[in-house]
Chains A and B, each alone.
Chain A
């Protein structure tokens, strides 16, 4: 679809600036692209490659390694049902089957109206709250079939807009550091001993 907007490109530069080596910003920038378009488009990857001075193939190599990055548009709501061991023991598979029926799609696909994508995912670190799922990476713990039905209805009706932002939005709060509060980016090629370590020697000398 599109390259990063001017605003996002500026944000991208700010993110790059936090790292000693620009390429470290690659994953955050891919998230930024996904936040913009709901998925990571080829154009966005090309743009990111330019910003980091690497090739688009290198961007794709990283992008395609990670589960969260979608290179095709997905539903407005990405529902991730955990079926890994703890959830499996507590009804995760049944939960997934129920959702497949409710949405009329198989795991791994998207509803015709583009509202929902359903995925069968690995452990999402809520094992004691099984069965559980995420909608756009927001958790729903110990969820029953009835609750799932209600959740889907609410999402369809747009009633959960506050709890569940659109796909691609990760954190609604970003790290922001005032310029005068920043320490410094520690570049790997500058072998400088941190000043406070001198306290060790001072202490040794005085003792």
Chain B
């Protein structure tokens, strides 16, 4: 019971809180005067000033715990030097820090020796060997030989803590990084310290694995080889790895990564701390879906449908010849409008530019859509002021979420939001038809009636509500309306339900924009580079550079052979036209409408109705199987270029391996098709896309590849062109490169001559009254679904839940259902038979069925032209 320093016991000296801190404090570091930021930890200030203090438990993105004791240094705050953990102590004026004193060195060597006492020292067979902080520290500071001759602590060798992560408790040094990450960052405290003292171990509760979307981060931040991920285990030694920085494109958050390879195979991704975006974190899907790129099932050569109606391998020239002739024939028969291009969100910006130019500038069709009816109208993405993640997370603000569950669709955005809510006093208001994995963070989660989000937003903006609106009580509406005006507001906008039309959401956003022009919007469209593809004009009515078709025609016709005559069809229109026999040639650019388009029946008819279907893809997807020509495309890490995240931030993606077989980059395929059509696409390399763009849309083209490459590793380049708000500004400061804040920003204003994207008038159709026997269908996405990346990643494929319909417990019981039962869901469109479960997160009268899960596809039930989807639920 020795609280030896009596004063410490209640310790006041330290508690003075200076009223107004001057910016920065002066401290002495190893005899040198340096300035530290107010509140900066000694370990961080020292590092910024070139003095690296060894550490194991400290991690700059998590709260310090000061428990490994490796970072103890002599700190003198006026009472004489004392050993203190530099990861816990904030710099104060006049503080003297000595990281080189004899006491410090002896203490650090001592700590290192203690850490090794029970460590197995199995470096030669450890995955971490060669990149292990413990190993490195031991070389740098450690004692030569071990004085420990007693028996070491023993644990059963690696045990699985989840489907992808294994734990070797003998190697663990109990730094609390993984456990802290699980609780503090991910909010999934499913791994924990168990037992006490020298017996302490990290473990899960029996039968409750560390099933977290973010589990892979623990492997990355483990300072020893205790945590390993099954996809990487024993695959390589660190010194055999080559690595290159890139950006993850598994969703549109755009987390920065390092791609590591060995012998032309992808082996591992590690998160990179991009301050405005991912803070070093990745989700498990993004981290592990490189397995799909390595997959044996990748398309390695073109396929052609032969006379016997089978797809058979073919040469590129045969395949391209077939594609070209089909294209020619199609144009002859149906004109340019007889050609349509669906997809493109998987492409790099440069690939997307090439394809837009091929479709719109050479063929002359405007029937191009990179979305698959599962997103938002392009105008709603390009025509609203854009927010960054940092803006959405600014302390003290309020975020209105009108869209999907970020945890399921944009996982690292969820982490940022979670941090903002828990640490920075950000209030989250969620409008969602069912409870989501993000609901627990929300100050208000308004459960509105399916299909009635517009009415709810209208009420929230006006602040007035009769008794209830869209099923939400008036007092709740008033509370939220007040909150939305009291604090700076950001809207996260996306698609919450694929079984209802997107129009009310888009219209609601427009309403907010008109009422509060200062409000910015963060897009929650999730597919890889959908924002880049839209920027490159892959939607009807658009040209590259966020330029509307009409006003831009003049400029483009200089560079392009032609520009489409009129606004074309979106995905739904294209599929409808194809089903009606009006599309001669349908390109599927990495698109699988049978699984991703909300209305499967229409997609089926379309694929059957189009005369020729040409698919370029990584895999023979269900839709590609229906194609006449299949062209193998290069995938992630097989091409270099740029990608644009949901903020509009352009960053590089790097090539690290070569594509399998004869698979080609998408831009090469476009150029080749153009050549065979008798045109020169004018691109010799991806970077030329930017040069050309610079000539037609100077503001946009300023973001040259050079600029991006120069800032790579920094924060990328944020494209700040916003149609409506800035269109009126004079073009004087066009393309000024501001190097001010945390992001390199191209602050560009679109010259008035080129009318920016305008928000159209959207008409709201009130959903009809549901009949008493029907359930309104909600179909949203889970992180792990039957998408190609998950399906071809052996570590992830088992993680998708499979189709399950969830009903409110009351409805469940009323229907006489029991756990384990199956239910038949019947809509006007189709039928599925799926297991059924009760859930209190689903309101009465709603049936929740996740999209694109195996064993019962939600899109078999949806009519894309319906306002909402009603289903009967019966016992089979």
**B192 adjacent to A61 (CB under 8 Å):** yes
- Residues in A whose Cβ lies below 8 Å from that of B188: 55
**A56 adjacent to B208 (CB under 8 Å):** yes
Interface residues of A in 55-86 (CB under 8 A from B): 55-61, 64-66
Interface residues of B in 190-224 (CB under 8 A from A): 190-196, 203-208
- Residues in B whose Cβ lies below 8 Å from that of A42: 205-207
B34 to chain A, nearest CB (A): 38
B162 to chain A, nearest CB (A): 12
Indicate if B189 sits at the interface (CB-CB under 8 A).
yes
Indicate if A45 sits at the interface (CB-CB under 8 A).
yes
The winner among B188, B196, B205 for most chain A CB atoms within 10 A is B205
Q: Which residue of B lies closest to A61 (CB)?
A: B192
- Residues in B whose Cβ lies below 8 Å from that of A65: 195-196
Whole-angstrom CA separation of A54 from B203 in the bound complex: 16
Q: Which residue of B lies closest to A66 (CB)?
A: B196
Contacts A54-B189, A57-B190; is A64 near B208 (CB within 8 Å)?
no
Choose from A46, A54, A57, A64 the contact partner of B191 (Cβ within 8 Å): A57
**A61 adjacent to B190 (CB under 8 Å):** no
- Residues in B whose Cβ lies below 8 Å from that of A54: 189
A40 to chain B, nearest CB (A): 12
Q: Which residue of B lies closest to A45 (CB)?
A: B205
A32 to chain B, nearest CB (A): 19
- Residues in A whose Cβ lies below 8 Å from that of B196: 64-66
Whole-angstrom CA separation of A12 from B189 in the bound complex: 23
Q: How many residues of B contact A (CB 8 A)?
A: 15
Whole-angstrom CA separation of A61 from B203 in the bound complex: 9
- Residues in A whose Cβ lies below 8 Å from that of B193: 61
B435 to chain A, nearest CB (A): 15
- Residues in B whose Cβ lies below 8 Å from that of A64: 194-196
Whole-angstrom CA separation of A59 from B191 in the bound complex: 11
- Residues in A whose Cβ lies below 8 Å from that of B190: 55, 57
Q: Which residue of A lies closest to B210 (CB)?
A: A57
**A61 adjacent to B194 (CB under 8 Å):** yes
- Residues in B whose Cβ lies below 8 Å from that of A60: 192, 194, 203, 205
Contacts A42-B206, A45-B205; is A58 near B195 (CB within 8 Å)?
no
**B189 adjacent to A57 (CB under 8 Å):** yes
Interface residues of B in 173-196 (CB under 8 A from A): 188-196
Interface size class of A (residues with CB under 8 A): 10 to 19
**B208 adjacent to A55 (CB under 8 Å):** yes
- Residues in B whose Cβ lies below 8 Å from that of A46: 205
- Residues in A whose Cβ lies below 8 Å from that of B208: 55-57
Whole-angstrom CA separation of A65 from B199 in the bound complex: 10
- Residues in B whose Cβ lies below 8 Å from that of A59: 205
**A55 adjacent to B194 (CB under 8 Å):** no
- Residues in B whose Cβ lies below 8 Å from that of A56: 205, 208
- Residues in B whose Cβ lies below 8 Å from that of A45: 205
Q: Which residue of B lies closest to A54 (CB)?
A: B189
Interface of A is mostly: helix
Q: Which residue of A lies closest to B182 (CB)?
A: A57
**B195 adjacent to A55 (CB under 8 Å):** no
A24 to chain B, nearest CB (A): 17
**B205 adjacent to A57 (CB under 8 Å):** yes
Interface residues of B in 227-283 (CB under 8 A from A): none
A72 to chain B, nearest CB (A): 13
Whole-angstrom CA separation of A93 from B196 in the bound complex: 25
**0/1 per residue, B312-328, Cβ < 8 Å to A?**
00000000000000000
Whole-angstrom CA separation of A42 from B204 in the bound complex: 12
Whole-angstrom CA separation of A45 from B194 in the bound complex: 14
- Residues in A whose Cβ lies below 8 Å from that of B204: 57
Choose from B189, B206, B207 the contact partner of A55 (Cβ within 8 Å): B189
- Residues in A whose Cβ lies below 8 Å from that of B195: 64-65
Q: Which residue of B lies closest to A65 (CB)?
A: B196
Whole-angstrom CA separation of A66 from B203 in the bound complex: 16
- Residues in A whose Cβ lies below 8 Å from that of B189: 54-55, 57-58
Whole-angstrom CA separation of A192 from B519 in the bound complex: 37
Whole-angstrom CA separation of A66 from B204 in the bound complex: 18
B165 to chain A, nearest CB (A): 14
A66 to chain B, nearest CB (A): 8
Whole-angstrom CA separation of A132 from B607 in the bound complex: 86
A190 to chain B, nearest CB (A): 17
Q: Which residue of A lies closest to B199 (CB)?
A: A64
B200 to chain A, nearest CB (A): 9
Whole-angstrom CA separation of A55 from B203 in the bound complex: 13
Whole-angstrom CA separation of A65 from B195 in the bound complex: 5
Whole-angstrom CA separation of A46 from B190 in the bound complex: 12
**0/1 per residue, A143-160, Cβ < 8 Å to B?**
000000000000000000
Q: Which residue of A lies closest to B207 (CB)?
A: A42
Whole-angstrom CA separation of A87 from B840 in the bound complex: 58
A41 to chain B, nearest CB (A): 11
Whole-angstrom CA separation of A180 from B195 in the bound complex: 41
A43 to chain B, nearest CB (A): 10
- Residues in A whose Cβ lies below 8 Å from that of B207: 42
Q: Which residue of A lies closest to B206 (CB)?
A: A42
B208 to chain A, nearest CB (A): 5
Q: Which residue of A lies closest to B440 (CB)?
A: A53
- Residues in B whose Cβ lies below 8 Å from that of A55: 188-190, 192, 205, 208
A45 to chain B, nearest CB (A): 7
Whole-angstrom CA separation of A61 from B176 in the bound complex: 13
A57 to chain B, nearest CB (A): 4
Whole-angstrom CA separation of A55 from B193 in the bound complex: 13
Q: Which residue of B lies closest to A63 (CB)?
A: B194
B182 to chain A, nearest CB (A): 9
**0/1 per residue, A27-59, Cβ < 8 Å to B?**
000000000000000100110000000111111
A89 to chain B, nearest CB (A): 20
Whole-angstrom CA separation of A61 from B208 in the bound complex: 13
Choose from B192, B203, B206 the contact partner of A58 (Cβ within 8 Å): B192
Whole-angstrom CA separation of A66 from B194 in the bound complex: 10
B841 to chain A, nearest CB (A): 15
A51 to chain B, nearest CB (A): 15
Whole-angstrom CA separation of A42 from B196 in the bound complex: 19
B552 to chain A, nearest CB (A): 55
B278 to chain A, nearest CB (A): 25
- Residues in A whose Cβ lies below 8 Å from that of B206: 42
A134 to chain B, nearest CB (A): 20
- Residues in B whose Cβ lies below 8 Å from that of A57: 189-192, 203-205, 208
**0/1 per residue, B326-345, Cβ < 8 Å to A?**
00000000000000000000
Whole-angstrom CA separation of A138 from B827 in the bound complex: 69
B212 to chain A, nearest CB (A): 11
- Residues in A whose Cβ lies below 8 Å from that of B192: 55, 57-58, 60-61
Q: Which residue of A lies closest to B208 (CB)?
A: A56
Whole-angstrom CA separation of A14 from B730 in the bound complex: 68
- Residues in B whose Cβ lies below 8 Å from that of A61: 192-194
Interface residues of A in 157-174 (CB under 8 A from B): none
Q: Which residue of B lies closest to A49 (CB)?
A: B205
Whole-angstrom CA separation of A57 from B192 in the bound complex: 6
Whole-angstrom CA separation of A25 from B193 in the bound complex: 19
B806 to chain A, nearest CB (A): 20
A122 to chain B, nearest CB (A): 12
- Residues in A whose Cβ lies below 8 Å from that of B194: 60-61, 64
B688 to chain A, nearest CB (A): 53
Whole-angstrom CA separation of A65 from B732 in the bound complex: 67
B711 to chain A, nearest CB (A): 41
Whole-angstrom CA separation of A54 from B208 in the bound complex: 13
B372 to chain A, nearest CB (A): 37
Q: Which residue of A lies closest to B193 (CB)?
A: A61
Counting from the closest, the 7 A-B pairs by CB-CB distance are A61-B192, A56-B205, A57-B192, A57-B205, A64-B194, A64-B195, A65-B196
Give 12 A-B contacts (CB < 8 Å), ordered by A residue.
Answer: A42-B205, A45-B205, A56-B205, A57-B189, A57-B203, A58-B192, A60-B192, A60-B194, A60-B203, A61-B194, A64-B194, A66-B196
Known: A42-B205, A54-B189, A55-B205. 4 other contacts (CB 8 A): A45-B205, A57-B192, A58-B189, A64-B195
Chain B residues within CB distance 8 Å of chain A = 188-196, 203-208
